[in-house]
Structure 1
Amino acid sequence: MHKESQNVANIDKILIHSCLKTICAFANTNGGTLIIGVKDDQEIFGLEQDYNSFKKNQNRDEFAKFFDTKVSEYFGNSFSSTFLEKEFIKFPKGDLLIVNVKPSSEEVHILRNEMGEKEESIYVRNLASSEKLKGKELAKFIRTKFENRIKLSSSIPVDNIDLRGRNIS
């Protein structure tokens, strides 16, 4: 592979991962909406350049298939139908993909890293960024998610349950 095209491929992987880690972070936090086809400064650039990068069908449907494939690779087959609502919207400057992400009661792992290689990670959303959790922060996050699941599904106070779910009173 030519060095320049390899750099472009790596940038594409990083951009794809950035979108998908944001989806992961939204699912792990309070949900949210990702708009694909808009720059950070809110300028619409659309998805047409992405459509044109496909060899066969250079259209919205091909992009939708590509997006669904990436979501499946990064989260598993059932994630999209469970947590995502997707809609294309046409603007004069180009198409946008609106992705509404529902919050998950369980922790959501992203299954690939920035280069598309297998690696499990958990991201959460801050005000304007998605942060990868590690160490104590990861343990605290998982414990909190676990405690919240028990609160929703049980009348036993969380203080009386150890981490294996047993009543200790």
Structure 2
Amino acid sequence: MRNKTNINKSVFSLFKQMLTLQLTFFIIFFAINFYVDYEGLENKSPVSYILTTDVITLSIFLLISLFIILFIFIRWHFNTVEISDGFLQYRKGLFLKKFKIDFKDIQSVSFEEDILGDFFEFGTICVKTAPNGKNVKISTINSAAYYASILRRYIKGNRTYSPKSKEEIYKLISRAEERGVEFKSSLRWDIKLNKVNKEIEKTIMKVVCGFMNAEAGILLVGIGDNGEIIGLENDYKTLRKYGKDYFEVHFYHLVSQMIGKEYMHLIDVAFYSLEERDICSVQVFPSEDPVYLRSDNQEIFYVRAGNTTQPLSIREAGKYIKSHWKG
């Protein structure tokens, strides 16, 4: 039995469901009360000398309200997502029918957060499955971005390929940058300016985009141009929470925003400790269709040229696309 991860729904989901059902019940109840002749019922009732119609009505209202609250709480409590043994299991529907998705059928995992979700740290995990490309959305999940990255990690462990070992990482560094390998000292921290620099993030996404439009490649973050092991500590300090989990979350967020959620499955992120410093290995796989980088309201096509990443003009891109993706 492998490690198991249980993901619970956000408390916001509980309050939202309670408010929605209670409000619906309130409207229906008082609409019915509007048409009921309580005076006539009270005259006919054998218990009218003990309980007035108002007391009976209020008691019914409170009992049904209590039942709704209890039902929603039980439903929310058992509405969990489970990741284990090569499957993603979740419950859906009024009576929480269980669904199971094999990791082998998952093409990509992403997440969505609105303004409210970003503030209260909940969102929707989006799972795209094969072969029909169906999207499964699991809403109001606590720390959706974090658990989306955890799910990707489980999926990677069940794929036929495996990340590079520490020894192989050292070999890549010793060979220095070559075709299909790129070193970057950080994801977003500018060592020279001593602050976060969005242009560095953009540069890294250019490399990822270029690899996808070529024959794949490996990006090592935390390694200087000369092979010096710098580490990710400066990047960690700039994130919402310190550590490699949120580094991975932010990396996938950049891919989602600047390249597209549909290409997340082409990326395999792994971390290694070299000389007591974390470095990140990003294995990028080739895309089956052209990939564009979205930046400054533009879409730019990048390719690898030797050990560099270069943009192509519209004419050049058209020619490259025609030759690279024949048919």
TM-score category, normalised to shorter length: 0.7 to 0.9
CA contact (8 A) 2:273 2:279 kept: yes
Partner of 1:127: 306
CA contact (8 A) 2:248 2:269 kept: no
Rounded Cα–Cα distance in structure 1 between residues aligned with 2:288 and 2:262: 15
Q: Does 1:19 align with 2:204?
A: yes
User: Deviation of residue 135 (structure 1)?
Assistant: 3.7
Partner of 1:73: 257
Q: Does 1:104 align with 2:287?
A: yes
Partner of 1:165: none
Q: Which amino acid counterpart does residue 100 of structure 1 have in structure 2?
A: Q
Q: Does 1:137 align with 2:316?
A: yes
List aligned pairs for 1:41-120, cutoff 5 A: 41-54=226-239, 56-81=240-265, 83-112=266-295, 117-120=296-299
Rounded Cα–Cα distance in structure 2 between residues aligned with 1:34 and 1:70: 15
Secondary structure of the 1:46 match is coil
Rounded Cα–Cα distance in structure 1 between residues aligned with 2:277 and 2:204: 19
Rounded Cα–Cα distance in structure 2 between residues aligned with 1:69 and 1:118: 18
Rounded Cα–Cα distance in structure 2 between residues aligned with 1:76 and 1:135: 20
The runs of 4+ residues in structure 1 deviating greater than 4 Å are: none
Uncovered stretches (5+) of structure 2, i.e. residues with no partner: 1-192
After superposition, the C-alpha distances for 1:102-121 in whole angstroms (9 at most, x for unaligned) are 11231111112xxxx23201
TM-score, with normalisation over the residues of structure 1? 0.74
User: Deviation of residue 93 (structure 1)?
Assistant: 4.5
After superposition, the C-alpha distances for 1:68-90 in whole angstroms (9 at most, x for unaligned) are 11110011112112x11110111
After superposition, the C-alpha distances for 1:26-85 in whole angstroms (9 at most, x for unaligned) are 11111100001111111110101110122x42111111111111110011112112x111
Query: Are residues 140 and 8 of structure 1, via their aligned partners in 2, closer, same or farther at CA, if it must alter by over 3 Å?
Result: farther
Rounded Cα–Cα distance in structure 1 between residues aligned with 2:208 and 2:199: 14
Aligned residues: 135
Rounded Cα–Cα distance in structure 2 between residues aligned with 1:104 and 1:68: 16
TM-score, with normalisation over the residues of structure 2? 0.39
Rounded Cα–Cα distance in structure 1 between residues aligned with 2:243 and 2:321: 40
